[in-house]
Amino acid sequence: MVSKFRSEWSTVLSHLVLAAVSLHAAVSSVQSSRGAAAGFLLQTFAAITMLAPGLNTHEDCLAGAWVATVIGLPLLAFDFHWVNGDRSSANLLLGGGMVLAVAGDHLGPEGCSVAGQAVLLVVAVTILIVAVFTANTYGMWGGAMLGVAGLLSRLEEDRLLLLPKEDVCRWALAAGSWAYCRALHTQRLQWE
């Protein structure tokens, strides 16, 4: 009973933290990085959907997570690449996310899961590469945390560090979102 109570509070808290961090990142980056702000906002809505009574059906959760993954994360990567002058990679990542969003109904549950993982890891790796070449420490941390969230979600274990696996992934995603927000601001300051 206590374990179930702790697990439920852990889940609610991880959603709240992810929503708060993503909302803060969206608000603080809206003036300088509208694409990233939209990506952060999609993450906020996906996290809040889980907390709203009546909206947290399994299908709603999957739809919100799908949109936040295949559109929101490429929007973050788009802005990061664009600011660093890599316009072709920025367009390729965003275009790929849009194609996946449209094709999502035709992929099936397992296909959506694999495509979501692929988007998450591609975004993490490309931002990590740009961050290494531009010496952006926040970008490196953001890429690493997003990669950790993607890799942890593929593990077979149900619990990690005494918490449900999904909660640990959300904590990693929240840390990565905070780092990406800082990385975007750092990059914008370097280019101004």
Q: Residues 57-90: pLDDT tens digits?
A: 555 555 667 777 888 889 988 988 888 888 998 8
- Give the sign of the dihedral formed by CA 116, CA 18, CA 58, CA 72: negative
Q: How many angstroms separate the CA atoms of 8 and 161, rounded?
A: 15
Reported confidence tier of residue 6, pLDDT bands at 50, 70, 90: low
pTM of the entire structure?
0.84
Q: What percent of the chain has pLDDT over 90?
A: 17
Q: How many angstroms separate the CA atoms of 151 and 155, rounded?
A: 7
pLDDT of residue 41 exceeding 80:
yes
CB atoms within 10 A of CB 57: 10
E strands, 12-162, where? 159-160
pLDDT of residue 55 exceeding 70:
no
pLDDT digits (tens, 9 = 90+) for 144-171: 998 888 887 777 777 666 677 788 888 8
E strands, the chain, where? 159-160, 163-164
pLDDT of residue 53 exceeding 70:
no
> Domain-by-domain residue ranges, the chain?
1-190
Position 192 scores a pLDDT of 59
Position 129 scores a pLDDT of 92
